[in-house]
Amino acid sequence: MFNKRTKIKELLSAEITGQEAIVMGWVRTFRNNQFIALNDGSCNQNLQVVASLGLLDDETLKRITTGASLKVIGELVPSLGKGQSVELKATSIEILGDCDPEKYPLQLKNRPSLEYLREIAHLRFRTNTFGAVFRIRHSLAYAVHKFFNDKGFVYLHTPIITSSDAEGAGEMFRVTTLPFDNAPRNEDGNINFKEDFFGKSTNLTVSGQLEGELAAMALSDIYTFGPTFRAENSNTTRHLAEFWMIEPEMAFYDIEDNMNLAEEFIKYIIQYAMDNNRDDLEFLAQRLLDEEKQLPQDKRSELGLIEKLEFVVSNAFERITYTEAINILLESPTYKKKKFKYEVQWGIDLQSEHERYLVEKHFKKPVIVTGYPAAIKAFYMRMNEDGNTVAAMDILAPGIGEIVGGSQREERLDKLIERMNKMHVPVDEMQWYLDTRRFGSVPHAGFGLGFERMVQFVTGMTNIRDVIPFARTPKNCEF
């Protein structure tokens, strides 16, 4: 069997010497025609391979370059060098794949910027930074499933192609097989979608929530975890056109139950990453520290990355109403000195600068804001008794602002229809959704967590394009 190998992470953690091992990986450095730093992606640490003088001929030595892939057989021995306890004394080195050093863009002597690495995203996994980021992303994804599975939730696969718009935003990617240059049209000039593949207008999903509610009305507790799409022309460090969403829906939950679950969930997955990716987090924490040294003192984080995560896990989230949030902003020195870019008044949709002021300057911890004005929230959110606000909740996190959005859903059929009419949501097309309120309706709630924003928060990366393998953004769909 070819792939009879041991991963480098396992060898370095076991620290066992005197046995034969087979390793395979990519060359990071090759010094003095003798010392090879080999990495296989299982961790950021390299295994030092020692090729004794005379083991390899000159032609083979020339082929051991940064980026080349090797299969090495040898004996694990105690290391005399700094930074590792064991090294591999090679008895056999086979070159699996050559790498032209004149063309390979990842050379240690000229560390590429994150901007450049986005342009070669097919190779950036080989860097320490992105190796750490995507191992942490994996752990967080696993923790998501473990958390809900252990609580008895059912994992539901909701459709990627849909005819509904859960958010009412209208910023959707159209799905069609109709010809662009000669689409069939009705008498009024509009496109005749009856001739399309599905016989109606369809789009890529912006949320699996509505379908999730249908399942929750029978299975009690469900969650979705899949890709969602927004055709929003936002070129920012926190927006993507394609991203992953985690959306639990729970029957017999009110808004407080919803907040409690969301807070427990966030703390759980962060703790899981801290328990299982300590080395990667420490690497990224040092990277962030080095990066912030270039910033003015007032722009630097008060807590290091790991200290921030520990603080979030060990402290209760602050809970305030939207009205209280507005009052805090109005009384803030930032507002009084007119340093907010966007206006502050009751009824606005909080902007990122407002959210970050609340969590980073005022409370200095994650904040859950509830009781938003009905006019700025979706039709399915439960109307509060005051008739002006809805039972919505957003969780705001340091560094990125909103990380979770959720609500208690409107379970009263008459109230839901009234709200849909007011917001011009087509009632006739949503009868399947209204049936959940006609036949055994119950109080229920749910929330959505943007997975990339959570990965951004845990890794300390400042641009959301650096926490997804291949970013989809306006005018950018490479690879």
Place of tokens 């049209």: 185
Query: Which range among 50-54, 72-76, 281-285, 391-395 shows the weakest confidence by mean pLDDT?
Result: 50-54
CA gap 61, 83 in Å, rounded:
25
CA distance linking residue 234 with residue 237, whole number of Å: 9
The pLDDT mean for the chain works out to 93
Residue 169 in this model has a pLDDT that exceeds 60? no
Do residues 43 and 12 touch, judged by C-beta distance below 8 A? yes
Closest CA to 167 of 434, 352, 376, 467: 376
d(CA 238, CA 235): 8
Asked whether the beta carbons of 38 and 71 are under 8 A apart, the reply is no
For the cut 90, the answer to whether the pLDDT of residue 400 exceeds it is no
Sequence letter at residue 380 = Y
* pLDDT surpasses 90 at 441: yes
Query: Which of these, 57, 55, 35, 38, lies nearest to 47 by C-alpha position?
Result: 38
Question: Is 52 or 84 the better-scoring residue by pLDDT?
Answer: 52
In contact, 344 and 378? CB cutoff 8 Å: no
Q: Is the pLDDT of residue 301 over 90?
A: no
pLDDT band at 459 (very low <50, low <70, confident <90, very high): very high
The angle subtended at Cα 249 by Cα 243 and Cα 251, nearest 5°, is 175
pLDDT for the residue 168: 54
Helix axes 451-459, 278-292, angle to 10 degrees: 70
Tell me the pLDDT tens digit for each residue of 111-161: 789 999 999 999 999 999 999 999 999 999 999 999 999 999 999 999 999
What's the CA gap between 40 and 126, in Å, rounded? 9
pLDDT band for position 109 (cuts 50, 70, 90): low
Q: What is the pLDDT of residue 232?
A: 87
21 or 170, greater pLDDT? 21
Q: Looking at the domain 128-160+233-238+250-466, which fold is it? A: BirA Bifunctional Protein; domain 2 (3.30.930)
Say which residue the tokens 């992303």 belong to. 137
- Which residues of the chain are in CATH 2.40.50.140 domains? 8-104
d(CA 107, CA 409): 53
Fold annotation for 8-104:
OB fold (Dihydrolipoamide Acetyltransferase, E2P) (2.40.50)
Position 295 scores a pLDDT of 83
CA distance 110 to 125: 17
- Could you give the CA distance from residue 372 to residue 370 in angstroms, rounded to a whole number? 6
Average pLDDT over residues 62-80: 95
Residue 240 — very low, low, confident or very high, per pLDDT cuts 50/70/90?
very high
Helices (H), 293-321: 305-314
Q: Token digits for 1? A: 């069997």
Q: For residues 369-396, b (16+ Cβ closer than 10 Å) or e, as one string?
A: bbbbbbeebbbbbbbbeeeebbbbbbbb
**Confidence at residue 59, expressed as pLDDT on a 0 to 100 scale:** 94
Domain with CATH 3.30.930.10 in the chain: 128-160+233-238+250-466
Say if CB 224 and CB 247 are below 8 A apart. Answer: yes
pTM: 0.94
Tokens at 474, concatenated: 């306006």
Q: Tell me the C-alpha distance between 227 and 2, whole Å.
A: 36
Phi and psi (nearest 5°) for 306? -70, -40
pLDDT tens profile 5-40: 999 999 998 878 899 999 999 999 999 999 999 999
**DSSP sequence for 410-453:** ---HHHHHHHHHHTT--TGGGHHHHHHHHSS---EEEEEEEHHH
- Separation CA 72–CA 69 (nearest Å): 10
| Residue 3 pLDDT exceeds 90 | no
3-state SS, 176-242, equals CCCCCCCCCECCCCCECHHHCCCCCCEEECCCCHHHHHHHHHHHCEEEEEEEEECCCCCCCCCCCCE
**64 within 8 A of 95, measured Cβ to Cβ:** yes
* Distance from C-alpha of 133 to C-alpha of 360, rounded to nearest angstrom: 24
The mean per-residue pLDDT over the stretch 278-290 comes to 96
pLDDT, greater one: 164 or 313 = 313
Residue 272 · residue 455 · CB < 8 Å: no
**Among positive and negative, which fits the CA dihedral 208, 210, 213, 219?**
negative
User: 162 pLDDT exceeds 80?
Assistant: yes
State how far the Cα of 229 lies from the Cα of 158, in Å rounded to an integer: 13
Cα 327 from Cα 332, distance rounded (Å): 9
CA 317, CA 413: separation in Å to the nearest integer?
33
Separation of alpha carbons 108 and 66, rounded Å: 9
The DSSP letter of residue 123 is T
